[in-house]
Amino acid sequence: MSIQIGNAPCSWGVEFADDARNPTWREVLRQCAQAGYKGIELGPVGFMPEDPVVLAEALSEFDLTLIGGVVFRAFHDPAQWDDVLDGTRRTCAALTAHGAKHLVLIDSISPRRAPSAGRVDEAAQMDKAEWTAFRDRIAEAARIGVDHGLTVGIHAHAAGFMDYEPELERLLDEVDEDLLKICFDTGHHSYAGFDPVAFMQRHIGRISYMHFKDIDPAVKAQVVANRTDFYDACGQGIFCKLGEGDVDFPAVRQVLLDAGFDGWCTVEQDCDPTLPGTPMEDARANRAYLQSIGF
């Protein structure tokens, strides 16, 4: 068994490829490597160069492996399906060019869901027809990834329509495991109000990839009570350094060890790029914490 630890551009505040506030892609690679990581995610497609020669040279320069990439787009909105397909196909092309393994699908934030993040009993629900079409769009994107030789994982995310444990488990029941596995994010599961370790214990056989994220319980209580926008919650520090929040990472590690998990676990500490901060120092602290508990 071999567990490898990577990081992702969102830990440097990179959520959207065209955000003028983003650091440069080379600076993210440099800091990731200097913080002690050997792997990194692609980030939103278009942030890193889509010319495979340019990116391959930089990955080699910084001794980094490309782990995978995320399609964070509006699967819930049929009017944006062309945009979802564009993101899926371009991400698949970028990943396969560098031998990366993991394609992660995330339904982006919906105005219908945003006010109820962390409030499962109040969350707007899709009717049967809407759900069926939503599920089928996710399955189609997953099939594109599988056709590219990638392992595809669904990732629950606050304020989207794939957020809470019941809908995640419903999707897993309705889409074949050979097509769709789980990219499990510890922090988003806690944000949604559920127990990450208990979910992992039930579904570890389908978890192909991990995102390590921690949640500050005091900030979580405040932003849920105030119905705070997701990105404002990031700015308020809801995603704290690993080991300082409410996720039990020693227990997470034990579940992975007991299952013989073999693969990448990627640190994500989403932050607001407009605020002063020290992403590389946080990345170093997160790597040191994980080492201290045996990762």
CA distances 196 to 110, 180, 191, 276, Å, are 23, 19, 10, 30
Residues linked to residue 154 through DSSP beta bridges, in sequence order: 105, 182
Q: State how far the Cα of 35 lies from the Cα of 166, in Å rounded to an integer.
A: 37
The alpha carbon of 185 is separated from its chain's Cα centroid by a whole number of angstroms, namely 6
The share of the chain scoring above pLDDT 70, in percent, equals 99
Residues 257 and 249: beta-carbon distance below 8 Å: no
User: Is a pLDDT exceeding 80 seen at residue 135?
Assistant: yes
58-68 b/e (C-beta count within 10 Å ≥ 16 → b): bbeebebbbbb
Average of per-residue pLDDT across 134-144: 98
Residues 138 and 75: beta-carbon distance below 8 Å: yes
The alpha carbon of 22 is separated from its chain's Cα centroid by a whole number of angstroms, namely 18
Higher-pLDDT residue of 274 and 144 is: 144
Q: How many structural domains compose the chain? A: 1
Q: State how far the Cα of 35 lies from the Cα of 286, in Å rounded to an integer.
A: 9
Q: State how far the Cα of 50 lies from the Cα of 170, in Å rounded to an integer.
A: 35
Q: State how far the Cα of 258 lies from the Cα of 126, in Å rounded to an integer.
A: 37
Please report which confidence band the pLDDT of residue 1 belongs to, taking 50, 70 and 90 as the band edges. low
Average of per-residue pLDDT across 121-146: 97
Please report which confidence band the pLDDT of residue 230 belongs to, taking 50, 70 and 90 as the band edges. confident
- Where residue 66 sits, what CATH number does that domain have? 3.20.20.150
Query: Quick one: pLDDT at residue 274?
Result: 75
Residues of the domain holding 196: 3-292
Residues 13 and 272: beta-carbon distance below 8 Å: yes
Tokens representing 101 are 């393994």
The share of the chain scoring above pLDDT 90, in percent, equals 94
Please report which confidence band the pLDDT of residue 231 belongs to, taking 50, 70 and 90 as the band edges. confident
**pLDDT tens digits along 168-210:** 999 999 999 999 999 999 999 999 999 999 999 999 999 999 9
Q: State how far the Cα of 135 lies from the Cα of 162, in Å rounded to an integer.
A: 10
Average of per-residue pLDDT across 82-97: 98
Q: State how far the Cα of 156 lies from the Cα of 230, in Å rounded to an integer.
A: 14
Selection from 221, 83, 94, 234 nearest residue 157 by Cα:
234
Residues 72 and 49: beta-carbon distance below 8 Å: no
The DSSP letter of residue 47 is S
**pLDDT tens digits along 56-74:** 999 999 999 999 999 999 9
